[in-house]
Structure 1
Amino acid sequence: MKTTLFTSRLLFGKDLEPRDNQLVVICDGVIESVRAGQASEADLVLKEGDTLLPGMIDCHTHLALDARIPGHLGLMEDSEAKQTIRALQVVKDNLQAGITGLRAVGDRYYLDVLLRDMIATHQLQGPWMQVAGIGMKGVHGHGYVGKSFSGTEEFRRQARLNMYNHTDWLKIFITAGAPPTESVVNCFLTREEVQTVVQEAKSCGLKTSAHCIGGQGLRYCTEEGIDVVDHCYWVDSTDIDLIKKHGTTVCFTPGVFLDDTRLPLCPESHATSVIRTRSEVIRRLSSLVVSNPKFVIGSDAYHTYLYKEIEYMTQLGMSRIEAIKGITVYAGDLMGRKVGSLEEGYLADLITVSKDPLSCKNALGNVNFVMREGVVVK
Structure 2
Amino acid sequence: MQVIRAARLFDGDKTVLAGEPAVIVEDGRVVSVRHDGAVPSGAELVDLGDATLLPGLIDAHVHLAFDAGADPVGALAARDDAQALEGMRAAARTALAAGITTVRDLGDRGYLGLLLRAEFARDPAAGPHLLTAGPPITTTRGHCWYLGGEADGVEGVRAAVRARAERGVDVIKIMASGGELTPGTHSHIPQYGIDELRAAVDEARRLDLPVSAHAHAGQAIADAVEAGVDSVEHCSFFTEDGVGAMPEVIERLVRTGVVVSATLGAVPGGTIPPRIVARMAALTDLFARLRQAGATIVFGTDAGIGPPKPHDVLPHAIGMAVRMFGWPPLEALRAVTSLPARLCRLDRRKGRLAPGMDADILAVAGDPLADPAALFDVRAVFRLGHRIR
Give the TM-score taking structure 2 as reference length. Answer: 0.88
Aligned to 2:385: 374
Change (3 A) 1:71 1:13: closer
| 2:189–2:217 Cα contact (<8 Å) kept | no
Please give the alpha-carbon distance, in whole angstroms, between the structure 1 residues aligned to 2:37 and 2:49: 12
Indicate which of 270, 273, 276 corresponds to 1:274. 276
Indicate which of 349, 356, 366 corresponds to 2:360. 349
Q: Which amino acid aligns with 1:118?
A: E
Aligned to 2:312: 304
The alpha carbon displacement at 1:232 in A equals 1.1
Alignment of 1:68-217 (within 5 A): 69-78=69-78, 79-122=80-123, 125-143=126-144, 145=147, 147-177=149-179, 185-217=188-220
Change (3 A) 1:13 1:155: closer
| 2:12–2:334 Cα contact (<8 Å) kept | no
Q: Partner of 2:21: helix, strand, or coil?
A: strand
Please give the alpha-carbon distance, in whole angstroms, between the structure 2 residues aligned to 1:346 and 1:26: 10
Please give the alpha-carbon distance, in whole angstroms, between the structure 1 residues aligned to 2:296 and 2:283: 19
Please give the alpha-carbon distance, in whole angstroms, between the structure 2 residues aligned to 1:114 and 1:103: 14
Provide, for residues 213-272 of structure 1, a one-character-per-residue CA deviation record: whole Å limited to 9, x for no partner: 24111111111111000111224323311211221011111336xx664426xxxxxx12
The alpha carbon displacement at 1:40 in A equals 6.1
Aligned to 2:240: none
Change (3 A) 1:174 1:45: same
Please give the alpha-carbon distance, in whole angstroms, between the structure 2 residues aligned to 1:35 and 1:324: 21
Q: Which amino acid aligns with 2:67?
A: D
Provide, for residues 183-210 of structure 1, a one-character-per-residue CA deviation record: whole Å limited to 9, x for no partner: x931111211111111111111100001
The alpha carbon displacement at 1:123 in A equals 7.6
The alpha carbon displacement at 1:4 in A equals 2.0
Matching of residue 327 in structure 1 with residue 366 in structure 2: no
Aligned to 2:25: 26
| 2:8–2:16 Cα contact (<8 Å) kept | no
Bigger mean CA offset, 321-330 vs 240-249: 240-249
Bigger mean CA offset, 151-160 vs 216-225: 151-160
Give the gaps of 5 or more residues in structure 1: 179-183, 265-270
Provide, for residues 47-91 of structure 1, a one-character-per-residue CA deviation record: whole Å limited to 9, x for no partner: 211111111010011111132x22113324233223212101101
The alpha carbon displacement at 1:106 in A equals 1.1
Matching of residue 12 in structure 1 with residue 11 in structure 2: yes
The sequence identity of aligned pairs, in percent, is 30
Aligned to 2:294: 292
Matching of residue 36 in structure 1 with residue 35 in structure 2: yes
Q: Partner of 1:136: helix, strand, or coil?
A: coil
Please give the alpha-carbon distance, in whole angstroms, between the structure 1 residues aligned to 2:360 and 2:217: 35
Please give the alpha-carbon distance, in whole angstroms, between the structure 2 residues aligned to 1:29 and 1:260: 35
Aligned to 1:268: none
Change (3 A) 1:275 1:260: farther
Q: Partner of 1:48: helix, strand, or coil?
A: coil
Bigger mean CA offset, 231-240 vs 328-337: 231-240
Root-mean-square deviation over aligned CA pairs: 2.1
Provide, for residues 264-311 of structure 1, a one-character-per-residue CA deviation record: whole Å limited to 9, x for no partner: 6xxxxxx12112322222222222122221121111113101001012
Bigger mean CA offset, 51-60 vs 282-291: 282-291
| 2:140–2:151 Cα contact (<8 Å) kept | yes
Change (3 A) 1:356 1:260: closer
Provide, for residues 327-359 of structure 1, a one-character-per-residue CA deviation record: whole Å limited to 9, x for no partner: 111111222221111111111100110121101
| 2:4–2:48 Cα contact (<8 Å) kept | no
Change (3 A) 1:124 1:13: closer
| 1:138–1:174 Cα contact (<8 Å) kept | no
Please give the alpha-carbon distance, in whole angstroms, between the structure 1 residues aligned to 2:37 and 2:289: 46
Change (3 A) 1:8 1:281: closer
Change (3 A) 1:37 1:245: closer
Aligned to 1:181: none
Please give the alpha-carbon distance, in whole angstroms, between the structure 2 residues aligned to 1:336 and 1:51: 26
Change (3 A) 1:187 1:308: same
Give the gaps of 5 or more residues in structure 2: 181-186, 238-244, 304-308
| 1:104–1:112 Cα contact (<8 Å) kept | yes
Bigger mean CA offset, 103-112 vs 238-247: 238-247
Aligned to 1:336: 345
Q: Which amino acid aligns with 2:132?
A: V
Q: Partner of 1:129: helix, strand, or coil?
A: strand
Q: Which amino acid aligns with 1:238?
A: E
Q: Which amino acid aligns with 2:28?
A: G
Aligned to 1:220: 223
Bigger mean CA offset, 2-11 vs 164-173: 2-11
Please give the alpha-carbon distance, in whole angstroms, between the structure 1 residues aligned to 2:256 and 2:37: 48
Give the TM-score taking structure 1 as reference length. Answer: 0.90
Please give the alpha-carbon distance, in whole angstroms, between the structure 2 residues aligned to 1:50 and 1:222: 41
Indicate which of 224, 229, 241 corresponds to 2:251. 241
The alpha carbon displacement at 1:113 in A equals 0.9
Q: Which amino acid aligns with 2:222?
A: R
